[in-house]
Every structure is written in structure tokens, then in C-alpha cells.
Amino acid sequence: MAPSIPDIAQTPQGHEGGAPAPLHVAIIMDGNGRWATQRGWPRLAGHRKGAEQIKKVVQAAPDLGIRYMTIYAFSTENWKRSTQEVLGLMKMFRLMIKREAAELSRQGVELRFIGDRTPLDPLLRETMDAIETRTKGNSKLTLAVAINYGGRDELKRAAQSIARDVAEGKITADEVDEAMISSRLDSAGMPDPDLVIRSSGETRTSNFLPWQAAYSEYEFTPTLWPDFTPDELSDILDRFAGRERRFGGVAS
Ligand code: IPE
Ligand code: IPE
Ligand code: MG
């Protein structure tokens, strides 16, 4: 008997025909420090300019057909930086979220955060919780901001949560499947990214979405993040549209 064909036509979300998949673009916003250093400015000046670019890119995203966007703002490894830079970034995150809350809401953006927020400053966490509540259900664009995010850390926390349920007898080990793991990640409920973009010329993923991006397309651009524009995003999307995604199948 032929082995039954697993139901993987529905692999990465929504690509099984019918309505076009909602486009999820994830961005590793790298190069702020070099952008500032090239100008003889402190690194934080680069982060501030980088934050301005995020606003432009987010504003342009829905018109480019993007429904979900995930941006890497601070990794679990970024604590290795100077206290001044780390504190400066944390302060900037809080101010940005507070300042942009009304505008994001007006634009129909749902803001959420991925990453472990437990070690973050309580004031920052409050601001994060508040904007998540305020923008919940907005449907023009879902923007996930990765703060204190590490893919391995996220998988570790998901494994712990599943292990606890197994230990308590709520589920059996055999019931653990890929969908359950996805549903325990911080990104639960979002489709996997179709495209991951990294700026600044580095060609590595630096612990970003290792599970979710298993079948993503990648684009690496030499542009430093503070110089990245919606026009460049549009060009990248044009190139992406010409790619053939096979998901393990054969060319059509
Ligand atoms: C990315 O820019 C932003 C964060 C990691 C917070 P960098 O700060 O890593 O910039 P470079 O790589 O040093 O130029
Ligand atoms: C990745 O950039 C993290 C963010 C963009 C927030 P890094 O600059 O921290 O990555 P590495 O150290 O070059 O791999
Ligand atoms: Mg960097």
C-alpha cells in the first residue's frame, strides 16, 4: 500500500492555493552603530535614526501588500553591549512606543512583542502591555517587535511550557506536534515569515526566528538600517515575487 500522503499541502501557511497568503516580512535591522560611527557620532544616534526609518517602513508596509511584519530590535545577546548603549536603547523603546501609540492605532496597526519580557524594566513592560491592549484587534498590519528576543530562548521557553503540561498529565509526549510547538512560541497566531531581510551586509541570522523562518526566503542588503527606505523594501518585494518557493516539492 502506498504510504498515505501527509497533509502538507498546507505547509507554510496559506500557500495551498485559493486566496493569496498574507505576506509576512521579518527584518533584522542591522547597521545602526556603523552608520553613526561613520559620521563620528555616538552609536545611539544611529539607533535614533534607525527608529525613524522603522516608522517610514511600517507606514509603507500595508500598501506594499504586507499584512504582518516582525522586526528585530534587541536580541538576548545584545545585553553584552555597554551599559550606556543598553540603557539608551531601553529608554528609546519606551519613548518610541509611548510617542507612536496613537499614530499606530490610527493607522490600524496591531502592535505586539516577542521575546522574554521578564528581565525588562517594569516601566517598559507596562508601556508594552498597554499598547498591546490598545491596538489589539487592529487588522491593517500586525507589527511584532522583538525585544530581548532569541530564537533559542523562545524555543526553550516553549519546551518548558510543554514539559510542564506533560508532567501535570494534561498532554502526553506523543501529542506534541509541530503545531503545538508553534502555538507555544511568542509568535503564536502569526503566520511564518515569507521573507526575512537583513540590512548592513552581514549574512547571518543571529538567533532570529529559527523555527518560524525554516522555509523563509532571505534577502541580504548592504544598506545600513538607517539608510533603508520603503523604496528599497519595494524593490526587494519585487524580487521576492519572482522567486519560486517549492517547500520541498518540485518546480511547477
Ligand atoms: C542593530 O544595529 C540594532 C541593534 C542590534 C539594537 P547595530 O547596533 O547592531 O549596528 P552595528 O551592527 O553595530 O553597525
Ligand atoms: C542582530 O544584530 C540583532 C538585532 C538587529 C536587534 P546584531 O548586530 O546584534 O547581530 P550580530 O552580533 O552582528 O550577529
Ligand atoms: Mg549589528
pLDDT of 100: 95
Which residue, judged by its Cα, is nearest atom 8 of ligand 2?
A: 30
Q: Is the CB of 33 under 6 A from ligand 1?
A: yes
Model-level pTM? 0.93
What does the buried/exposed string (b/e) look like for 184-193 if buried means 16 or more CB atoms within 10 Å of the residue's CB?
bbbbeebbbb
Residues 1-14: what's their mean pLDDT?
42
Residue 98: how many other CB atoms lie within 10 Å: 12
Residue 180 to residue 176: CA distance in whole angstroms: 6
Q: CATH code for 20-151+192-241?
A: 3.40.1180.10
pLDDT digits (tens, 9 = 90+) for 106-143: 999 999 999 999 999 999 999 999 999 999 999 999 99
The domain segmentation of the chain, as residue ranges, is 20-151+192-241
> Which amino acids bring their CB within 6 angstroms of ligand 2?
28-30, 72-75, 78, 202, 204, 206
Instruction: Compute the mean pLDDT over every residue in the chain, rounded to the nearest whole number.
Output: 93
* 152 marked as part of a ligand binding site: no
* 46 marked as part of a ligand binding site: no
Q: How far is the CA of 224 from the centre of ligand 3 (A)?
A: 10
Residue 76 to residues 8, 23, 73, 203, 206: CA-CA distances in angstroms? Answer: 33, 26, 10, 19, 10
Length of the chain counted residue by residue: 252
Task: Categorize the per-residue pLDDT at 251 as very low, low, confident or very high, splitting at 50, 70 and 90.
Answer: confident
Q: Which long-range contacts (CB under 8 A, 24 or more apart) does 187-192 make?
A: 187/70, 187/114, 187/144, 187/154, 187/212, 190/24, 190/68, 190/70, 190/142, 190/144, 191/12, 191/13, 191/14, 191/21, 191/22, 191/24, 191/68, 192/12, 192/13, 192/24, 192/216
> Does residue 35 surpass a pLDDT of 80?
yes
Q: Any catalytic annotation for residue 78?
A: yes
